[in-house]
Structures are given as structure tokens and as C-alpha cells.
């Protein structure tokens, strides 16, 4: 191990401070004495419950749609595959608010398919279901990217071996492919859930901010900051703790611990 040269040390400390100081500030300024009280307020409770419901729903939908897609991307060749992969990963770099606008233009009352949905009696914008769709839109790529990498690292000859040993495709999937991909699927699901839980831009644009219906934790934090900073800090702390917990759960995979 060599000693850190000064030339690198200063910028590195700057970077660490950029992340560290705000977190320290958040923890120091937190209204610890009345934290319980803050989190028991109806607004906080509603936002917390709604956030859990929406983010877990978004994760479940992402899993159901994303795992088969990831498998197709990893294990087959089809025309337009590169386009599909680009489309799926786009939300990772797209500003979420743009995603929200695009969702409105697609599923809004006058949207591309929104009119059809309305005819079927389905309304997405400014509903809880809409918040779930917005979170799924933003979080799904994290699951797909992780799951595809997981499927890719499985030796395809193991799947061939399963077939030669008498396994039908469903059995091979259940007993060989999915168990071998399980760590990647778990990591993808955790990352997807963390991203869905923190979603702000697409949700507020597409689903609005109605307490109890679409006002998830991040929206509640933002709105509380103006009139009740202590509540905002308390809710932020909750999100911080959840994020750290997710990171700890994934540490083997990304931090090499």
C-alpha cells in the first residue's frame, strides 16, 4: 500500500466532503427528541404507507416484467434487440421529470393510449396506480440490467446439460437458471426497490401530489420543507436509513466486503 500523494488527496477529500458533510448535517440537525412524534403525524404515516405500497408494487411489477425481458436479452437474438436494450436502459439517464411528461402524453386523459384506457375505465394519471407506473418506469431498468448480467454469467452449457439430463424448459428454468441467477435477481430487486422508493420527478409530474393517494415520502419531504422543516428532516432521515439498509444488504455485491 503506498502513501496518498498530496496532488490526489485534496480533490479526493473534497469529493468525500461533498457526500459526507450533507449527511452529517442531516443527522446533526435531525429533531431526535421529537422524531417519534414527527413520524406519527397523519401526513408522515400516510406518506410512509403509500411509499411502501407503491415501491413494493413497482418492484413486483418490475420483477414480473423485467426478469423475462432480461432473460430474452441475455439468452436469445432477435431483431431490434439493441433497440429494446437501449429503450429499457434509457430511464436510467433520462431526467425523471421528462419521463413523467412522456407518461402523461402516453397515458394521460388525452394521451396516445390514455383515451383507450379511459374507455376501458382505467385512469392512471393522478392516481395511486399512476404513481406505481411512474416508479416502475424509473426503477425497472435497474432490475433488467442486473438480471441480464446475472443470466449472462451462467454457463449456457449448464442449461444444455439440464435438457440432456431430461429437464423440460420449465424445469430447467426453475431448478437451474433461476437459482443460479438468484443473487443477481435479489440485488436487482433491492436496487429497483430503493430507486422506486426515492422516486420524485416522474411521480409528481404524472401522478401529482395528493396526500394519501400519490404523495409518496419524497414528495412529502419536499412539500414539508416549506412549512415544517423538522418534519421534512425526520422523513428524510427515514429515507436515508432505508437507503443505508439497502446498501448494507447489497454490500457483498458492490462493496466487495
Compute the least distance from the CB of residue 251 to other proteins, in Å: 22
Work out whether 153 is an interface residue with other proteins (CB under 8 A): no
Say if residue 95 is exposed, middle or buried (CB neighbours under 10 Å; 0-12, 13-18, 19+). exposed
CB of 186 to other proteins, least distance (A): 14
Q: Is 77 in the site for other proteins (CB under 8 A)?
A: no
Residue 199, classed as helix, strand or coil, is coil
Part in contact with other proteins (CB under 8 A); list of ranges 36-44, 57-65, 138-146, 167-175: 167-175
Q: Which three cell numbers stand for residue 175?
A: 431448478
Compute the least distance from the CB of residue 142 to other proteins, in Å. 24
- Taking the C-alpha atoms of residue 204 and residue 206, their distance in angstroms, rounded to an integer, is 6
The per-residue DSSP string of 88-103 comes to HHHHHHS-HHHHHHHH
Q: Assess 175 for contact with other proteins (CB under 8 A).
A: yes
252 binds other proteins (CB under 8 A): no
How many residues bind other proteins, per CB under 8 A?
Answer: 18
Q: Does 158 bind other proteins (CB under 8 A)?
A: yes
Q: Write down the least CB distance from residue 162 to other proteins, Å.
A: 7
Q: Is the dihedral of CA 5, 8, 11, 13 positive or negative?
A: negative
Q: Which helix (H) or strand (E) holds 203?
A: helix 201-207
- Other C-beta atoms closer than 10 Å to the C-beta of 7 total 8
Among 236, 225, 220, 55, smallest CA distance to 128 is for: 55
Q: Which residue in 22, 68, 95, 179 binds other proteins (CB under 8 A)?
A: 179
> Given candidates 35, 117, 180, 239, which one binds other proteins under the rule CB under 8 A?
180
**Least distance to other proteins from the beta carbon of 175, Å?**
7
Closest by Cα among 86, 88, 90, 92 to 69 = 88
39 vs 167, beta carbon nearer other proteins: 167
Q: How far apart are CA 78 and CA 60, in angstroms?
A: 26
Q: Is 160 in the site for other proteins (CB under 8 A)?
A: yes
- Asked whether position 165 contacts other proteins by CB under 8 A, the answer is yes
Residues lying near other proteins in the complex (CB under 8 A): 155, 157-158, 160-168, 171-172, 175-176, 179-180
Amino acid at each position: 500500500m503506498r502513501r496518498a500523494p498530496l496532488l490526489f488527496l485534496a480533490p479526493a477529500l473534497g469529493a468525500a466532503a461533498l457526500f459526507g458533510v450533507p449527511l452529517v448535517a442531516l443527522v446533526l440537525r435531525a429533531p431526535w427528541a421529537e422524531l417519534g412524534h414527527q413520524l406519527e403525524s397523519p401526513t408522515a404515516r400516510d406518506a410512509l404507507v403509500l411509499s411502501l405500497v407503491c415501491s413494493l408494487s413497482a418492484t413486483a411489477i418490475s420483477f414480473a416484467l423485467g426478469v423475462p425481458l432480461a432473460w430474452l436479452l441475455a439468452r436469445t437474438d432477435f431483431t431490434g434487440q439493441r433497440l429494446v436494450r437501449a429503450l429499457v436502459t434509457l430511464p436510467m439517464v433520462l431526467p425523471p421529470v421528462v419521463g413523467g411528461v412522456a407518461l402523461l402524453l402516453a397515458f394521460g386523459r388525452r394521451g396516445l393510449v390514455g383515451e383507450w384506457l379511459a374507455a376501458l375505465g382505467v385512469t392512471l394519471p393522478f392516481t395511486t396506480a399512476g404513481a406505481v407506473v411512474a416508479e416502475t418506469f424509473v426503477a425497472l431498468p435497474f432490475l433488467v440490467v442486473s438480471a441480464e448480467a446475472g443470466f449472462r454469467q451462467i454457463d449456457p452449457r449448464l442449461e444444455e446439460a439440464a435438457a440432456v439430463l431430461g429437464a423440460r424448459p420449465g424445469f430447467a428454468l426453475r431448478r437451474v437458471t433461476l437459482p443460479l441467477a438468484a443473487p443477481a435477481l435479489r440485488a436487482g430487486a433491492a436496487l429497483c426497490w430503493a430507486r422506486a422508493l426515492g422516486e420524485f420527478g416522474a411521480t409528481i409530474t404524472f401522478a401529482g401530489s395528493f396526500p394519501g393517494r400519490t404523495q409518496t415520502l419524497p414528495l412529502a419531504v419536499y412539500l414539508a420543507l416549506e412549512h415544517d422543516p423538522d418534519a421534512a428532516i425526520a422523513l428524510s432521515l427515514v429515507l436515508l436509513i432505508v437507503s443505508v439498509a439497502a446498501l448494507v444488504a447489497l454490500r457483498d455485491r458492490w462493496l466487495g466486503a
